[in-house]
Amino acid sequence: MRSRLSVRSFFAPRSAELARSQFEAFSRQIPLLYFILSVNTASLAFTHRHVAPRLLAVYLPCLLCALCMVRIISWRRRQRRLTDPEITQRLRASIFMTFFIGSGFTIWSLSLFPYGDAYVRGHVAFYMAFTVIGCIFCLMHLRAAALLLTALVIVPFTAFFAMSGNPVLIAIAVNVLLVSLAMVTILLIYYRDFNSLIESKKSLVDKRDEMQRLSDENFKLANLDSLTLLPNRRRFFADIETLLASSALSGHSFAVGVLDLDGFKQINDLYGHGVGDAVLTETGKRLTGLARPDVAFARLGGDEFGMIIPCARDREGLLQLAEAICHSLALPYIRPKATVRLSGSLGLAIYPDAGSHAEQLLERADYALYFAKQHRRGGTVVFSAEHATQLRKVALVEQELRQADLDSEMSLAFQPIVDTTQRRIVAFEALARWHNPTLGMVDPATFIDIAERCGLINLLTEVLLRKALAFARACPPDIRIAFNLSTLDITSKGALARIIGITQTSGVAPHRIDFEVTETAIINDFDQAREALYALKALGVQISLDDFGTGFSSLSRVHQLPLDKIKIDRSFVTNIEAGQHGRAIVRSIANLCVNLNVACVVEGVETQAQLGILRSLGCDLMQGYFFQRPVSADQALGLLENGIAAFAPAPAESAPAAAESDALA
């Protein structure tokens, strides 16, 4: 069996690459082989035309030459690229043809030897020797055929002339045999080197292909998001730069969009990151299903996706597409363990109206997204001239905030929290105020939001907390101080450590301090927020959950927090006189507080009627304009001395009502 395999491997190419290379080289030389055969055959037939029978001297040579011409034409007419199996078949056919043609020419030439004189018979020996040498050279790329031809010609040639008894012919036979053996040796060496060359070439090609594959893979990893299989942020910016270059020449407009999943953080917290990743993967599939040649999507990071629309001349069509995207993302995400619902908000910026470079377009699309999440959650906002004005205002406020002397420009206003049963002030909530020399009084909702977005909120918190605790030291020991913490205050360990340090060195008894956090701050990173609140609780301070009912928090999460108070948001109080719905909500929250053994504080009380309804629902602790608008520290101390007369409304402060809601929320 092994010998059969070795013989087969000797006569058959070792690989498809070797077979193709043999075939290509062989194809170029095979016409020359038949040309040599035809010329030499015609020459030998010519010298025997008068001495040999016409069958041997005319008809057979003509038939053999015609066969050679047919083979030449057959090889010359090959045009299309053959497959590997076809090449193998042609090579095998060539070996068979070598056997038949070699046998035919050998028999024919030896049949002519008896005719003519010594010169004519010598021509036969000359013909066979030089023809076989020429053919061996032509067949050198097809080793099996060359060796077969050598055996078919040289063995009969040597035996025939060795038995002739003529010393000259015997010498010629020996000479041709030795030369043929030398040529066979050269043939084998050449074939080995040829094979090695092909193998080396194949190895180089394989290495090149592997390098190309690795390069393609690296390009894919560098430009593709592995989870959603969408282009990543790098590719997104590269595509925008390409569009900018082409649009600068053509004058065409295009749109850049930023898409964010509303409520994705809660899904991660409630169901785990496995479900969150599955939602992101499904989102990628939905966006891919909406992609067209004129719409491309990318994942920018987290639950944020990017969109490029190369042609944005049809504004109505653009909005229809945006609506289809938001509708697709609002469909339920059905998972084995849960059916998840969320929405997607989309901000769009159109070149060149919204900006002239990639960073500017993305910044303004992001601002439009922020506006959508604030005012059209689950919808689309296109960046407009009005947004540009707002953005310039935000940039101006941010610039002034970065350069501000916070200690001198920042101050606090204090709004009392009243125990309506005892008809006295029990605490003050500290509310941030900023008077800038350039801008004047700045709305707290504006500068606090900007401080959070630009990373200044932690520094702002530290400055205001020191001022709040200084006020607390001036108050009687039974008066508490409530101070709001932002999301970044409780999710940054460094900021939390500084807050704890300020509290410990303030000289204010910890039990007099209430740290207030909003539902939104907790939802953004529940685990980190809970850990931070427990760290604060360990100081001896109290923890209040502010704006309860507006942050969509899970009641199953509320009982996991170290809460001492829950503050009912003003939105539930505004229309409490008009119907039962608001009353039912307030009653439910008040009952929840009783069940959780925490205090309940109602915000936004503005009328005597609201006060009466809230008292009937079991609420005692309240704050709002009905009792007192926010006042300065000196006025607040005066309120402690004089009290709030008959719960009558106090004179209005110049700050707008919307600004009184929170200190740092």
Average confidence (pLDDT) per 10 residues, the chain, 665 residues: 46 63 75 84 86 88 86 71 75 79 82 84 81 76 76 80 80 81 78 73 76 73 84 90 86 90 81 86 90 87 90 81 89 81 90 87 90 86 86 89 94 95 93 94 91 91 96 95 92 91 95 90 79 93 84 64 90 83 87 90 92 92 93 92 56 40 41
Distance in angstroms (rounded) separating the CA atoms of residues 101 and 448? 97
444 and 553 share one domain:
yes
Residue among 622, 639, 620 nearest 631 (CA): 639
Long-range contacts of 83-89 (CB under 8 A, 24+ apart): 84/16, 84/19, 84/20, 87/16, 87/19, 87/20, 87/23, 88/13, 88/19
Clarify whether residues 331 and 372 are in a common domain. Answer: yes
**Which residue has tokens 């001395």?**
641
Residue 48's alpha-carbon distances to 43, 51, 53, 124, 132, in angstroms, are: 9, 5, 9, 10, 20
Which H or E run includes 496?
helix 493-504
**Selection from 485, 497, 495, 570 nearest residue 538 by Cα:** 497
The DSSP bridge partners found for residue 297 are 307
For residue 655, what pLDDT is reported? 38
For residue 78, the model assigns a pLDDT of 62
> Count of domains in the chain?
3
Task: State whether 299 and 362 are in the same domain.
Answer: yes
Cα dist from 522 to 4, 58, 74, 190, whole Å:
79, 107, 83, 79
Round to whole Å and give the CA distance between 57 and 50: 8
Alpha-carbon distance of 44 to 42, in angstroms, equals 6
CA distance 616 to 612: 6
192 vs 178: CA distance, rounded Å? 21
Identify whether 389 is part of a domain: no
Q: Please check whether residues 441 and 376 belong to one and the same domain.
A: no
Query: b or e along 595-607 (b: 16 or more beta carbons within 10 Å of the residue's beta carbon)?
Result: ebebbbbbbbbbe
Q: Which residues contact 511 (CB under 8 A, 6 or more apart)?
A: 540, 541, 542
Residue 315 CB neighbour total at 10 angstroms:
13
pLDDT at site 13: 56
- Which of 590, 625, 630, 620 minimizes the C-alpha distance to 604? 625
* Whether residues 135 and 62 fall in one domain: yes
pLDDT number for residue 664: 45
| Global pTM value | 0.60
Structure tokens at 290: 């909406």
Nearby residues of 125 by Cβ (< 8 Å), 6 or more positions away = 157, 161, 169, 172, 173, 176
Query: Domain of 353: which CATH number?
Result: 3.30.70.270
Q: Is there a single domain that holds both residue 367 and residue 428?
A: no
Is residue 664, in this structure, part of any structural domain at all?
A: no
477 within a domain of the structure (yes/no): yes
Query: End of a domain among 383, 413, 445?
Result: 383
Q: Is residue 665 part of a domain?
A: no
Final residue belonging to a domain, choices 158, 186, 205: 205
The parent domain of residue 328 ranges over: 233-383
Q: Which helix (H) or strand (E) holds 484?
A: strand 480-484
Same domain, 237 and 200: no
Q: How far apart are CA 344 and CA 303, in angstroms?
A: 10
Residues 463 and 592 reside in one and the same domain: yes
Same structural domain for residues 375 and 505? no
CATH of residue 434: 3.20.20.450
Within-domain flag for 212: no
**223 in any annotated domain:** no
Q: Which of 352, 383, 414 is the C-terminal boundary of a domain?
A: 383
Residues 29/141, Cβ–Cβ less than 8 Å: yes
Nearest to 418 by CA among 619, 582, 607, 583: 619
Instruction: Write down the H helix ranges in 143-256.
Output: 143-162, 167-223, 233-250
Same domain? For 319 and 437 the reply is no
The verdict on residue 438 lying in a domain is yes
Question: Are 266 and 185 contained in the same domain?
Answer: no
Same structural domain, 189 and 48:
yes
Q: Is residue 420 part of a domain?
A: yes
Phi, psi of 431 (to 5 degrees): -120, 130
- Our CA angle for 184, 188, 191, nearest 5°, is 130
**And the tokens for 382?**
């296109």
Residue 65 has what pLDDT? 87
Instruction: Check residue 95 and give its pLDDT.
Output: 78
Residue 183 in contact with residue 132, Cβ under 8 Å? no
pLDDT at residue number 656: 39
Burial of 360 (0-12, 13-18, 19+ CB in 10 A): middle
